[in-house]
Structure 1
Amino acid sequence: MTNPDPLRVPALVSQWFSRPHTASAPVVVTGAFDVLHVGHARFLTAIRDRGLPLLVGVEDDTRVRSWKGPERPVNPDIERAEMLASLRCVDGVFIISGPPETADWEPYTELLRPMGPAALAFTAGDPYTDGKRRGAAALGAEAWELPLTEGRSTSAALGRLARSL
């Protein structure tokens, strides 16, 4: 089900979980996507509803753990990629690997350049908004900021689960 990285980009893409078979320039979104919830579904569906193929980059376990703490991610990267690939609105999924400190917009720009994105999408309030806008500009792509589904995040879901135990 997985393939070696055919893009030969800097060591950030470790593998493709699924690849789209389309010539259209895609919209790209990246993130942890740890515990899928309605906020993810609404966000990804809203992107795909704009008519372009959707590629989702999933941060690997080491990167997520370094940013969110030792208890995260809840689900392994390959399972998070598999869940995303099963969604109708998602055309392709790839796993992003590499040193956790490699999180600036410049390495992401080089990672995404071979994909020729038409747009980079992110939610309102994303802490990396400025970098994503700069990356989109460097790629000649649009920056799509979509609404956040309030109260729906992996952290909020885990908090509700912990309180119910």
Structure 2
Amino acid sequence: MSSDKKIVKQTEAAARIEKWQQEQLKVVFTNGCFDILHAGHVQYLEQAREAGDRLVIGVNTDASVRRLKGEKRPVCSETDRCRVLAALGSVDAVVMFDEDTPLKLIERLQPDVLVKGADWSVDTIVGADSVLARGGEVKTIKFLEGRSTTGVIERIIEAYCRSGSTEDGGD
């Protein structure tokens, strides 16, 4: 499936998940800002996908990221973040949510497995109660050491400041 077709509205995501579940496919859900995609994200998403047959990612909108991370974030727009995530082979659907937590989205989508990073305990994972109450699973995945969006941003700023550059060299 082309990556453009993986980016869906919440109603379409719910319909796809229902169809997959009718086909006896196990649907995994995770969420995050995914501001600057890095190797830690890729490994995390590949491991999340291994927990089931389909992987759906809930992505915070720009407004939600600003509320959670501050006015200087996100670095990349919600459209760009979704496009990059949708291009990954491990990802089957990408859906945005505007709330500060994905609780409403999780309750609407009703995934079979909810995955978060191991820095969360199951009892603090938003939506865990909902998934467990329906007989689903909640899993945590260890992060790739030394990889974070904040760390990437800090290294970019540090390199920029060291260079004294004011030019936009582009890529």
- Scaled to the shorter chain, the TM-score interval is 0.7 to 0.9
More helix by share: 2
Structure number, greater radius of gyration:
2
Q: 1:69 to 1:145 in 2, by over 3 A?
A: same
Tell me what 2:113 maps to. 119
2:11 partner amino acid: P
2:110 partner amino acid: G
Q: 1:61 to 1:162 in 2, by over 3 A?
A: same
Tell me what 1:67 maps to. 68
What's the offset of the Cα at 1:130?
1.1
Runs of 4+ in 1 over 6 A off after TM superposition: none
Q: Distance in 2 between matches of 1:50 and 1:128?
A: 16
Q: What are structure 2's unaligned runs of at least 5 residues?
A: 161-171
Q: What TM-score do the two structures reach when normalised by structure 2?
A: 0.76
- Asked whether the equivalents of residues 117 and 139 of structure 1 are also in contact (C-alpha less than 8 Å), the reply is no
2:146 partner amino acid: G
Tell me what 1:6 maps to. 11
Write the deviation string for residues 90-149 of structure 1: whole angstroms up to 9, x where unpaired: 000000124x4xx3xxx71x4223433111001111388613333432343201101111
What's the offset of the Cα at 1:151?
1.2
More strand by share: 1
Q: Distance in 2 between matches of 1:130 and 1:147?
A: 16
Q: 1:57 to 1:4 in 2, by over 3 A?
A: closer
Tell me what 1:141 maps to. 136
2:87 partner amino acid: S
SS of 1:56's equivalent in the other structure is: strand
Q: Distance in 2 between matches of 1:34 and 1:60?
A: 10
Is 1:80 aligned to 2:81, yes or no? yes
- The worse-fitting range, judged by mean Cα deviation, of 43-52 and 23-32 is 43-52
Q: What TM-score do the two structures reach when normalised by structure 1?
A: 0.78
Q: 1:3 to 1:125 in 2, by over 3 A?
A: closer
Q: What are structure 1's unaligned runs of at least 5 residues?
A: 8-15
2:139 partner amino acid: W
Aligned residues: 148
Tell me what 1:154 maps to. 149
CA RMSD of aligned residues (A): 2.4
Over the matched positions of the two proteins, sequence identity in percent amounts to 30
Q: Distance in 2 between matches of 1:3 and 1:160?
A: 33
Within 5 Å, which residues of 2 pair with 1:6-25? 6=11, 22=20, 23=23, 24-25=25-26
Q: Distance in 1 between matches of 2:79 and 2:133?
A: 30
Q: Distance in 1 between matches of 2:123 and 2:89?
A: 26
- Asked whether the equivalents of residues 8 and 94 of structure 2 are also in contact (C-alpha less than 8 Å), the reply is no
